[in-house]
Structure 1
Amino acid sequence: MDPHTLNGRHEKPETISPELEVVSAEVTAPPKRRRRTAAYKLRVLAEADACEQRGELGAMLRREGIYHSDLANWRKQKAQGQLGGTPVSRSRRSDPAFVEAVQAQTELAREVRQLRRQLGRAKQIIDIQKKAALLLGETLQEMSLDDFTDMEDLPEDDQS
């Protein structure tokens, strides 16, 4: 497409005389990132929370020159204690509830490993009992509690 054509019509670009063209040789510093104080953020959050009517929050955001995402980030900071008072430690290891939960999880994992070992042993014992019953010619259905002479011979579940 020809740069001089607009909507199918041929138009001549505007020409500016060379003596009117001014080029700035000044180097400007890049814009600095805005830093807002905790007091400012808390004030704006309070003002935003007070907005009740439709469009009031948008007008306040435009007036302050901030975005809704700024409010969301500041609310997160406030919830974490980073805006007022002492900041909350970022390390979860220092949180007593977290430490307690990790200890409980470790204890439960240890218990699961122990129970799995016991289950494996119990399955081996059952397999041996089945083989012994086959060698003796008895099936497990034919055996009853009367076959156990002592209470010590009973499996643990049947003693109670």
Structure 2
Amino acid sequence: MRWTGTREAPAGGPVAASPPRAPVPAVEATVAALVALGASGEVRELPADLCGPAEVAAHLGVAPAALARTTVLTTRDGRRLMVVSSRVHRLFPPALAAVLSEPELTLDDDVDVLHRTGAVLGSASPVGLAEPMPTFVDVALALHPVVWVPAGHPHALFRTRYDELLRLTGGHPVEIG
């Protein structure tokens, strides 16, 4: 499994290889973790011109609800945790805190997420992290036979199934919305 840098050609033509790219450490860590964990999916580069979840979902042939996003939160006592949720669910930290029996959760900002995961906000992979953190996975993703999860770059996602995502992350199912 590699982040191949291939893109679909217009009008369903043959797949064309992109020019060689500089390695993206967070994506490379994701690929390595997926291989080590025996994942069945692939990491795919998305065309840079796709705008918004609806276009990304159409490109991948899935419903927008099958696209995941990752969020890093901090507990009152300073512990970090990651939530993998469907892109159609808004994450409301006070409600999630109640579900997780935490007194308080706050969203990490761009700098904290980059420092902890090597990726910018919203594109952090839940696997291959230098500092593993407890992970909670939205049960709404279980409704889809295939889910696409951030892979460490705004234009990289990996394909998996809900049950496999729980296994890969050591995640706990949680109802988000």
Larger RCO (alpha carbons 8 Å, 6+ apart): 2
Q: Give the structure with the larger strand fraction.
A: 2
- TM-score norm. by structure 2 comes to 0.17
* Structure with greater Cα Rg: 1
Q: Give the structure with the larger helix fraction.
A: 1
- TM-score norm. by structure 1 comes to 0.18
